[in-house]
Amino acid sequence: MLIAHLTDPHIGLGPGQIECDIKPVLALRRALVHVAHLRPAPEVLLVSGDLTDSGHEADYQTIADLLRTQLPAPAQGGPQVLMVLGNHDLRAPMLHTLAPYMPVADDAPEGTMCLHATHGDLHFIGLDTVVPAAPHGTLDAARLQWLERHLAQAAGQPVVIFMHHPPLVSGMAVMDSHGLLQGRAELGQLVAAHGQVQLIAAGHMHRAITGQLGGAPVTVLPSVSHQLALDLAADGLLACRMEPAMVGVYRWTPEDGMACHYSYVKSFGAPVPI
Ligand SMILES: [Fe+2]
């Protein structure tokens, strides 16, 4: 099975809001076209938050329109799309417009949009890490208990976890101060205890980062729109940089496990046989 992943399109972010040449709608359209042309076709597309920049319903509608027009429907071979919100999103308008892609669990902690879906042999658990009106994320006791329950339901079965705030410390000072400030160690304990978490996929950092937690790989993708400059100084500042967008293409089989590929959205021309 192939799983595609994209993150942080920030629809609604306009010129003048940051000093970068950003075109978020065009960037998301290009990323979706890229996903639609992947062969073999991915069966699942994960979207890990910050779909919009300010949570406007019209921006979610733009995303719904792009998903409908740029991806084949699942019945026509398109991917099952699953998404979680990020700190720039607002729960009510996102769920109102994008509910088909957010199968929120009946027992999700109150006010959260945690989800648990299955596709083939894989469980997909989407964690809502958002603290309303705050840039940082959390896995509080209620969310951890929910996750523990759902990992128990999937005991012995392979699981992919996806979430907006990555459970790692990157060394990018400002982003770490806006990172997953609560529940990282506990998440690692749950992942280790389950033993079958194949991958934790995240966004938020606007950079490509790899780590591990509880024995599972953690992969963080760049935004499909705009990146943050790599700055690991203790007093490093946030700066936008128009580095290339990438889509994650994750190959998983029961026999081989997980292999994470990263595919540039930009065309570099036709492959040259060697
Ligand atoms: Fe973001």
Residue 121 sits in which domain range?
2-264
Ligand 1 centroid, distance to 239 Cα (angstroms): 13
Instruction: For residue 247, tell me if it sits in a domain.
Output: yes
**DSSP three-state, residue 58:** helix
Instruction: For residue 274, tell me if it sits in a domain.
Output: no
Ligand 1 centroid, distance to 204 Cα (angstroms): 5
Give me 209's structure tokens.
């980062």
- pLDDT reported for residue 19: 79
Contact 168, 209 (CB under 8 A): yes
How do 257-264 and 246-253 pair as beta strands? antiparallel
Ligand 1 centroid, distance to 11 Cα (angstroms): 10
Contact 78, 36 (CB under 8 A): yes
Ligand 1 centroid, distance to 1 Cα (angstroms): 27
- pLDDT reported for residue 17: 81
Ligand 1 centroid, distance to 28 Cα (angstroms): 13
Please state, rounded to an integer, the average pLDDT across all residues of the chain: 97
pLDDT in tens, 46-103: 999 999 999 999 999 999 999 999 999 999 999 999 999 999 999 999 999 999 999 9
Instruction: For residue 273, tell me if it sits in a domain.
Output: no
Instruction: For residue 242, tell me if it sits in a domain.
Output: yes
The domain spanning residue 36 has which CATH number? Answer: 3.60.21.10
Question: What residues flank ion ligand 1 with Cβ within 5 A?
Answer: 8, 50
Instruction: For residue 270, tell me if it sits in a domain.
Output: no
Ligand 1 centroid, distance to 197 Cα (angstroms): 25
Instruction: For residue 124, tell me if it sits in a domain.
Output: yes
Concatenating the DSSP letter of every residue in 90-132 gives -HHHHHHHHGGG--B-TTPPTT---EEEEETTEEEEEE--B-T
Counted domains in the chain: 1
Q: What are the residues whose beta carbons fall under 8 Å from the beta carbon of 148, sequence distance 6 or more?
A: 190
- pLDDT reported for residue 38: 97
Percent of the chain past pLDDT 70, that is, above it, reads 100
Measured in whole angstroms, the distance separating CA 62 from the mean position of its chain's CA atoms is 18
pLDDT in tens, 97-134: 999 999 999 999 999 999 999 999 999 999 999 999 99
Instruction: For residue 271, tell me if it sits in a domain.
Output: no
Instruction: For residue 272, tell me if it sits in a domain.
Output: no
- pLDDT reported for residue 16: 75
Residues in the chain: 274
pTM reported for the whole predicted model: 0.98
Ligand 1 centroid, distance to 250 Cα (angstroms): 21
Q: What are phi and psi of 153, to 5 degrees?
A: -65, -30
Average pLDDT over residues 173-178: 97
